[in-house]
Chain A
């Protein structure tokens, strides 16, 4: 008994690969010569492949549905018959020379040509270029001469000929496609793509973002805020109360400031129902807090920010963001915001152009704190600075109003004492 390997035969002119549609046999089956072993489909036809010898199937070269290169190993049949019409190949030497020339099957092409984009590529660019006895690129004189005439340095090419020899066709290919970018050491082109269905949270995000950006004419104001005093205060509070009440981030201070500012600028803390043509201004500040979760962006809502203490706000932010990230947040906590804050923390960049959370009319973006030189009138001094990037719905918020809103916010954050004292005249 000898094991014969049969290759996927050439089933049509110019076809490099075919889909293995059905196996008619499985490993262990006994087949007779000319029994159909499988069906393969090309874009032109469906073809039944018969067994070249009778015997026992010992190995199948692919699964149904798989696309196989013409000439790749298809099946192994253990048989005591001599393979008359096909090319036996001993399994012990998978890489053995194809010296007994296969009669009806073609030898396996080293790379099946892609029918659509027939770029010839050498085996691997990682392989050093084939050189001749004089150390030059392996190519016939005619190819070398043509390359010279064309001004092409053959060292840029990898040949597809025997032993990597550069063929006239490789030169044609180079002219057509330019240099093979894989040839620079260790760098390869990435060509794969991956499709993912847009569902669930992502789908909601996509729809809402699209609606917001399509309907709302955004404009943004970017302002810088010196946060030295605020940061000092925050550090002192954290030092004093951090252990029992938890550490404060900058966000509770910002919400406290917003709670004050919206009193003077109710236009900003509003909903605009553009279909009904109604603006609803809110006294309460229900602050949406943009939160990154594994599923994507979520905006849990911190209700009545104007009425909370710093630590209360901090605890609520933590509760909301934790439950959002753990995906156990209820719809109550995700709706009803009147103004949204978005902060990327240390990733916060220099400036951003946030998209308004429809039907709100403004969004406050917080950029990262960085020490920057500030001119104090006599000299540059290092100051902790933070930018605010706020976007507004220009249909209902005028630039002047927005600028005032941002200026007030800046003033409060730069003078944090005002967040905690009665400074209004009334």
Chain B
């Protein structure tokens, strides 16, 4: 059996894992990365990136279909056609480009990459089942960055016509009739895209609202768009069974039981940490539900063992994992670093997009007086010239010192605004700082300045 020694072993080659390994190696730490599948993880290979490709193509096709019908803004096209496999080729090309970039980054940084599934022997020894036989790696520091996998519904095991997001993204053709179970952001993004690609989509959600973590106002434009796209939305509805032979889904809703004949069922009811194969029971790490508990330096309850990304409590977002990865790499390299982020921005690539940084109005702690101001895209020149004036930018600020606590937006392309929102929060800016910054005209970003001006002008500035 081959035995390797290193200073740092990173298990998992997703955004968290590869960022951590590359940075640590660049800081001079002898680093090995273990990945059972392909570097880039869920996000790059079967998640964010291919889904955004799909969403983009869906929008392009959808626009063409509208232009082939009544036309749009004076533009008409004839006979739009969708070559789905060509689209898949293009999407795979994007993924390959990015994955090669990651592989190159790891190589240039001096990270040794092992392919195989890792399993803890003890806190410092990991056995990797590689193609060339088992390899034991002994490391001073081990990082668990194994990400997450889709949650199954009882009675609806993945496989065949029951799809997880990975399978949905790999379909050879858009299904004629698609049921999407779970109206979280993954279900909404994919459901909307398939609807635009011609599928008859039914969305089933057990909760009384889509995207239940957001307030009704923020999700309303997306919900309106679902209806406009002909998507049937069944809220307060649960699945009761699946008949494989008839391809029928049983539903129980507030208006009684019903059945739904579909060609495919996409289950997006959540994700759970992918720790099953790791042999974590050997370590007895402190858990928080299915998640591995970590401190502000991503250290687990066992010395020398770190965890980051989706296996740790918090939003399952690639950029959170990458931020944690920087911390772990620094800590392992002996540098001072710790989690001190004000916010983890979040984006839903719904139609329209929803972007969020910091506190929602409902999340402001009791006892903190706050003010909420918003500016609608209906009054924004750029949104009107894009023929997409749905949505708004909303700003939550503290009443006493005007410090911005949270910014949310829904509307055209607001995903590109969210990093600016996060910058406001991390820098600890006040509404007057945004109001006093020149925002280029005509841009969507002006809506943020307008919301800030509304907050600044309606109260006097306390000279602090």
B-binding residues in A (CB < 8 A): 93, 95-99, 108, 110, 123, 130, 132-134, 136, 138-141, 144-145, 148-149, 151, 162-165
A-B contacts, CB under 8 A, total: 67
Chain B contacts for A136, CB-based, 8 A = 340, 342
Q: At the interface, yes or no: B152 with Cβ under 8 Å from chain A?
A: no
Q: Mark B385-406, 1 if CB is under 8 A from A, else 0.
A: 0000000000000000111111
A134-B341 in contact (CB<8A): yes
A-B contact pairs, 14 of them (CB 8 A): A95-B463, A97-B461, A130-B401, A132-B403, A133-B359, A133-B404, A133-B425, A140-B427, A141-B426, A145-B337, A148-B337, A149-B335, A162-B429, A163-B403
Chain B contacts for A138, CB-based, 8 A = 403, 428
Chain A contacts for B406, CB-based, 8 A = 133
A163-B425 in contact (CB<8A): no
Q: At the interface, yes or no: B358 with Cβ under 8 Å from chain A?
A: yes
Contact of A133 among B340, B343, B461, B463 (CB under 8 A): B343
CA of A148 to CA of B426 in the docked complex: distance in angstroms?
A: 16
Q: Name B's interface SS.
A: loop
Most B Cβ at <10 Å: residue of A110, A134, A149, A164 = A134
Most B Cβ at <10 Å: residue of A132, A133, A164 = A133
Q: Mark B416-428, 1 if CB is under 8 A from A, else 0.
A: 0000000001111
A110-B464 in contact (CB<8A): yes
Chain B contacts for A144, CB-based, 8 A = 340
A133-B462 in contact (CB<8A): no
Most A Cβ at <10 Å: residue of B336, B428, B461, B463 = B428
In the complex, the chain B residue whose C-beta lies closest to that of A160 is: B464
Q: At the interface, yes or no: B430 with Cβ under 8 Å from chain A?
A: yes
> In the complex, which range does the number of interface residues on chain B fall in?
20 to 34
B336-A148 in contact (CB<8A): yes
A-binding residues in B (CB < 8 A): 335-338, 340-343, 358-359, 401-406, 425-430, 432-433, 460-464
Measured CB to CB, the closest approach of chain B to A237, in angstroms, equals 71
In the complex, the chain A residue whose C-beta lies closest to that of B337 is: A148
B342-A162 in contact (CB<8A): no
Chain B contacts for A164, CB-based, 8 A = 401, 464
Measured CB to CB, the closest approach of chain B to A136, in angstroms, equals 6
B405-A163 in contact (CB<8A): no
In the complex, the chain A residue whose C-beta lies closest to that of B405 is: A133
Chain A contacts for B432, CB-based, 8 A = 162
Known: A110-B464, A162-B430. A132 touches B336 (CB 8 A): no
CA of A132 to CA of B406 in the docked complex: distance in angstroms?
A: 10
Chain B contacts for A132, CB-based, 8 A = 342, 403, 425-426, 428
Additional A-B contacts beyond A130-B401, A139-B428 (16; CB < 8 A) = A110-B464, A132-B342, A132-B403, A132-B425, A132-B426, A133-B342, A134-B341, A134-B342, A134-B343, A136-B340, A140-B427, A145-B337, A151-B336, A162-B432, A163-B402, A163-B428
